[in-house]
Amino acid sequence: MKFKFYENAWIPGIKGVFYLIFGLFAFIKGSTLETTSIFFDVLIILIAIIYLAIGFLTRGIKNRIWIIIAGMIHLGFGVWLTINWGNESVHLLWIVTLWILYSALTDLVEALILYAGKNVLGTLFIVNMLVTLVFAYFTMLLHQNYTPETLHYQGIIAILAGLITECSGFVISQSRFLAD
């Protein structure tokens, strides 16, 4: 294993910003699950647009098919959440939880892509996956005990996940200067 440059450092950067913005929004006193899920949906659709734009418009990018497929799945989650806005909170929580688990799965795929290329940076994607799974766990706890206060705590977890993901994204982005 070597420390090699990885051109897709924007992936943890986008997710980290997403988690931070969502966390700040959920942390605000008085926010509800319904308003937070609308904001969550907007962010998912924005992530889908970024993935698809990079996948279709950037020439010479590695793993283009994976990025386009991931973008389409993000878009599918965004549309699914949009269609279900009027449903009860538990249904919205399940969609959000499934998206967070999907996000953890994409971190695992990115790690495997890096490990296949004998790149040690895959470890940072494993860390991101574990942090995302912790975020998913606390989101699943909301299914049993949703109150505005627990949503507030969920915001704190999302902010921490965002900070950790942003830090790993920074290290990955600096790999072009540090690689062999």
Question: Which sequence spans correspond to the domains of the chain?
Answer: 10-178
Answer whether 0.95 is exceeded by the pTM.
no
In the numeric block, which tokens belong to residue 122? 């895959």
Does the pLDDT of residue 29 top 70, yes or no?
Answer: no
**pLDDT more than 70, % of the chain:** 94
CA–CA separation, 28 and 5 (whole Å): 38
Q: Work out the average pLDDT over 9-25.
A: 87
Under the phi-then-psi rule, with left for phi > 0, alpha for psi from -120 to 50, and beta for the rest, what region is 30? left
Distances in whole angstroms, Cα of residue 180 to Cα of each of 40, 114, 116: 39, 15, 17
Residue 20 phi/psi, 5° resolution?
Answer: -65, -45
- Beta strands of 88-127 (E only): which ranges? none
- Pick the closest to residue 130 from 108, 102, 159 (CA basis): 108
In the numeric block, which tokens belong to residue 25? 């929004």
pLDDT in tens, 89-135: 677 788 888 999 999 999 999 899 889 989 888 899 999 999 999 99
Under the phi-then-psi rule, with left for phi > 0, alpha for psi from -120 to 50, and beta for the rest, what region is 70? alpha
Compute how many other C-beta atoms are within 10 angstroms of the C-beta atom of residue 142. Answer: 19
**pLDDT more than 90, % of the chain:** 32
At 129, the amino acid letter reads M
